[in-house]
Amino acid sequence: MYRVARRLTRNGPDAEDLVQDALVRAYRAFGRFDGRYPRAWLLTILRNTHINQLRKRRPDLLEDELAQRLPARGEDGRLDGTADQAFRGDLDPIVRDALASLSGNHRAVIALIDLDGLTYQETADFLGVPVGTVMSRLHRARKKVRTRLEANGITEVHR
């Protein structure tokens, strides 16, 4: 939960507070939990808690909920925020640029599935979209990254 909260808030202390608030809400709602998909249930509570906190702080900035949760681009076109170290860390600059070139929806799916290790169902629940949408976005995102890498001279790696 902390890793996802860190990605949402882009700040360590805020992420800790968000996780604590979400766990308190989960504890209060535990009687209504059906026992299926506990990780997705907790992450949904986390997301909703984050949205509620944003509404209290900045009600006019919530028009694009996904944009609030994903790294934004600065004037130089690079990703902003400290929470997106996975996109910036030890990755080759060409790979980093390929990931940065993705739309917010595609970057979100890659981040949640490939970096955070969520399942398709958990990602779908977290984003509030059907599983099929997650699968198609992931396919398109990986295809765009692959095309961009091949255009930069990086050949396909055989599995």
Q: Show me where the domains of the chain are located.
A: 1-70, 84-159
Asked if CATH classification 1.10.10.10 holds for the domain at 84-159, the reply, yes or no, is yes
For residue 116, give the 3-state DSSP assignment: coil
What integer is the mean pLDDT of 140-156?
Answer: 83
Asked whether residue 37 carries a pLDDT value surpassing 90, the answer given is no
- The reported pTM is 0.50
* Banded model confidence at residue 155, pLDDT cuts 50, 70, 90: low
Please give the pLDDT value at position 102.
85
Contact 110, 87 (CB under 8 A): no
Q: Tokens 């944003």 — which residue?
A: 54
The span from the CA of 103 to the CA of 62, in Å, is: 18
The span from the CA of 33 to the CA of 14, in Å, is: 26
What integer is the mean pLDDT of 82-90?
Answer: 44
DSSP string over 122-137: HHHHHHTS-HHHHHHH
The span from the CA of 72 to the CA of 80, in Å, is: 5
Asked whether residue 7 carries a pLDDT value surpassing 50, the answer given is yes
Asked if CATH classification 2.20.28 holds for the domain at 1-70, the reply, yes or no, is no
